[in-house]
Amino acid sequence: MENRILGIPVSPLAHRRWLHFRGNRRGWYSLWIFLVLFTLSLFAEGIANDRPLLVRYDGAFYAPVLHDYPETTFGGEFETATDYRDPYVADLIHEKGFMVWPPIRYSWDTINYDLTRPAPSSPSFENWLGTDDQGRDVLARLIYGFRLSVLFGLSLTLVSAVVGVLAGAVQGYFGGIVDLLFQRFMEIWSGMPVLYLLIIMGSIIEPGFFSLLFLLMLFSWMQLVGVVRAEFLRCRNFDYVRAAKALGVSAHVIMRRHMLPNAMTAALTFLPFMLAGAVSTLTSLDFLGFGLPPGSPSLGELLAQGKNNLQAPWLGIVAFLAIALTLTIITFIGEAVRDAFDPRKHVAAPVTQGGPIAEKLAMGTSPDTSEEPGQ
C-alpha cells in the first residue's frame, strides 16, 4: 500500500495526519483562504498600482510595472518618470494607443490629490474603502500591509524556529551542565522587558524590516526551545538512539537523523501559532509607532489612524476586520495542525496497556469523555 501526499510518497503516519488535517474542514478551508490571499498579495503590484500594467503606444508595448519610462517616451515634455495618473499624460497615450490598468489604480503610497472631500475621505467608487488621513487608498494599503505582515511573520517564525530548534536540540541532547547553564540563561533572557528594549533600540537605530526582524528574533526563539528540548530529552534514552551510539554514529548525525524528526512534530504544531504571534507583534509595534519606518503600509499603522480619526470609522473597521480575519485564519490552521498531530485523536490500534483506561476505570468514569487538548 502506497501513501502519497501531493504525489510525494510518505510514511503512513504522515499520511494519516494529512488525512486528519484535511478532515478538519475549518482548518482546511482556512488554509486555502490563506494561501489564496497570500498568493494574491504577493502579486499586489498587479492588483493595486498607480501605473498601468500594459501600455500600447505608437505601435509598441510598454510594461510600466516592470520598468520606468520617462515622460518623453509618450510625447511628454519632462525627462522624469511618467506619472500615468496625470490626465495630460493619459490623454497623450490615449491618442496613439491605450492603457490596461490594474483593478485598483493606487499603490500603497499613491496620494489621491483629486479628493472631493477632505482626507480621510469615506469609501467611494474611486477609493473603495476610502482614504486615510494623507489621502492614500485604504484598500491598496491593506493589500500591501497584509503582504508585509505575513512575510514578516513568516520570516520571523522561520528564523526563530531554526534558532529555537537548534538551541533546544543541543540542550536536550547533551543535558547536564550544558542544559543547566542554557536554561538559566534563558530564564534571565526571557525576563528582559522586550517592548522597552525595542523602543530604546528604535531610537538608536533606524527601524527597518530586517533590523526589526533581528530584534524580535532575539527573544522569539525561546518559544520553541521548551518543546524541542523535552523531545530530545525523551529521545535520548530511546533504544534506537542508543543503538546508533553503539554503532559509533557521531552526535550531530544522531541529532539530525534520529532525534530531529521526532522533535519536528512538536515544533510544527507550534509554527502557525508563532506566525499568528509574530503578525500581532508587528501590528502592535506599528500601532505604537515603533515598528516599520513611517509611511510603510502596515495593518498597525492603519489601526492607529483609525484610533486617531474616530470620525472616519471605515479606517478602524477595515483594520480591525483585516487583522481579525488574518489571525483567525492562521489560528484555525494551527488548530487543525495541532489536532492532526495529536496522537489521541487517531488511535491506530486498541491500546491495552492500562494507562488512562485503567485510571478511568478505577474512577468509575466512562473512557470516551476525554478532555479537550490544551494549546
Question: Could you list the residues that contact other proteins (CB under 8 A)?
Answer: 11-13, 16, 19, 238-240, 242-250, 257-258, 261-262, 347-355, 357-359, 361-368
Closer residue to other proteins, CB minimum distance, 22 or 56 = 22
Reading the block at residue 283, the C-alpha cell is 501590528
- 325: amino acid identity, one letter: L
- 324: amino acid identity, one letter: A
CB atoms within 10 A of CB 304: 20
Closer residue to other proteins, CB minimum distance, 311 or 352 = 352
Please report how close the Cβ of residue 360 comes to other proteins at its closest, in angstroms: 8
Closer residue to other proteins, CB minimum distance, 313 or 354 = 354
Please report how close the Cβ of residue 355 comes to other proteins at its closest, in angstroms: 5
Parallel/antiparallel/unpaired status of strands 4-5 and 8-9 = antiparallel
Q: Indicate the DSSP class of residue 49.
A: -
Reading the block at residue 222, the C-alpha cell is 525561546
Which whole-number Å values give the CA distances from 304 to 45, 180, 309, 315, 333, in the listed order?
25, 43, 9, 9, 28
- CA 22, 23, 26: angle at the middle one, nearest 5? 80
Please report how close the Cβ of residue 7 comes to other proteins at its closest, in angstroms: 18
Name the burial class of residue 204, with classes exposed (0-12), middle (13-18) and buried (19+) by CB atoms within 10 angstroms of its CB.
Answer: exposed
Closer residue to other proteins, CB minimum distance, 310 or 348 = 348
Please report how close the Cβ of residue 268 comes to other proteins at its closest, in angstroms: 14
Closer residue to other proteins, CB minimum distance, 122 or 370 = 370
- 34: amino acid identity, one letter: F
Closer residue to other proteins, CB minimum distance, 22 or 85 = 22
